[in-house]
Copies of this chain bind each other. A is one copy, B any other.
């Protein structure tokens, strides 16, 4: 009998699950995971009546609950008469996706291809990058940022079957430049905006792109809508324009308030866009965004064209500033709506429970999902959180910090 020895060169389920599952089991045991609740007036309500405000939701502008977005979804269902008419879009398609792509393309001044999710987009695009089909036929050395979201890093084994794959330290510009000097074609893969807060050094990377022809693949899901003119997101609004050396993937399921994802291209030929449609993995062979998602996205895009978006962006900045004025974090002053509040390992679950009991849901992160000594709360702001609610949350966090300080 043969025993299998895994390579675990690019992934290691045994290790990831051993660590992650202990975290999740503890979270669930303490009532901080596995929660089921209905939305009710912007708050969440458990079946037993317990109400709480969600400080762990990525719908930063609350567009997910916007009546026009929901009406847009319903109007599209009525108009097209199906959620999807199952046939590859390369053969026959309803006009739904094309209209959405045209609208988002105009909105963000890019070429847009839709996808059912950002992770499906990355799973389909990254191997195409690996085989050189999005880099002029030259297979690039692919450098994945150590911290890039798992939806990108999980593509490493497939990419490694098409080209050479490396992992670099977080935003290691020197390493990337060094590789650009040694390899004719290099592609760097990273988050445009991190799920734990933080932005990619887009301007620095643009300089490497100009100097060496570097390709960059960004997932900018966490900044779409909340950042930049018309909500184009951190990467797009930092760059003057997109050329064929930059690809941005962004979900339409966070601040954009709908469902699905947009892939932003610049200067790609009709031929290349057809290759994406036909060969970018599940983009070609699996279901597309359904018409409800398309209609909601069209409606959200219209909101992005009005002054309402700037108002919502400003309101979010005000919420973030209010939080920063009450609870100090390393992220204070940054534009993104994510804050990491440091809490001693032994107390983070207790604080998370106390906050939840008082009506605030935040995500506690602790060992083994982060190293000992780095536990804390991940707090996410939304425009729908009342100022008094934010003050209430911050008061409890500050009071806890004071007591912890007294005890120390």
Residue numbers in B under 8 Å from A275 (CB-CB):
17, 21
Residues of chain B within 8 A of A371, CB atoms compared: none
Q: Are the CB atoms of A161 and B117 closer together than 8 Å?
A: no
With a cutoff of 8 Å between Cβ atoms, the chain B residues found around residue A286 in the complex are: 117-120, 151
Q: 8 Å CB contacts to B: which residues of A278-294?
A: 278-279, 281-282, 285-287, 290, 292-293
Distance in angstroms between the alpha carbons of A257 and B85 in the assembled complex? 8
Q: Which of B44, B251, B257, B274 contacts A287 (CB 8 A)?
A: B251
Q: Does A239 sit within 8 A of B, measured CB to CB?
A: no
**Contact check: which of B14, B83, B158 meets A293 at CB < 8 Å?**
B83
- Contact between B91 and A363, CB atoms less than 8 A apart: yes
- A406 beta carbon closer than 8 Å to chain B: no
A330 to B309, CA, bound (A): 59
Instruction: List A residues at the B interface (Cβ < 8 Å).
Output: 1-4, 6-14, 16-17, 20-21, 24-25, 27-28, 32-39, 44, 54, 56-59, 64-65, 69-70, 73-74, 77-78, 80-87, 90-95, 98, 116-120, 123, 127-128, 130-133, 139-141, 149-151, 154, 157-158, 160-164, 182-184, 251, 253-254, 257-259, 274-275, 278-279, 281-282, 285-287, 290, 292-293, 296, 361, 363
- Given the complex of chains A and B, what is the CA–CA distance between A351 and B82 in angstroms? 30
Closest Cβ–Cβ distance, residue A273 to chain B (whole Å) = 12
> Of B4, B36, B44, which is within 8 A of A163 by CB?
B4
A83-B292, A290-B293 are known; give 5 further A-B pairs, CB within 8 A: A4-B164, A11-B162, A28-B274, A54-B85, A116-B120
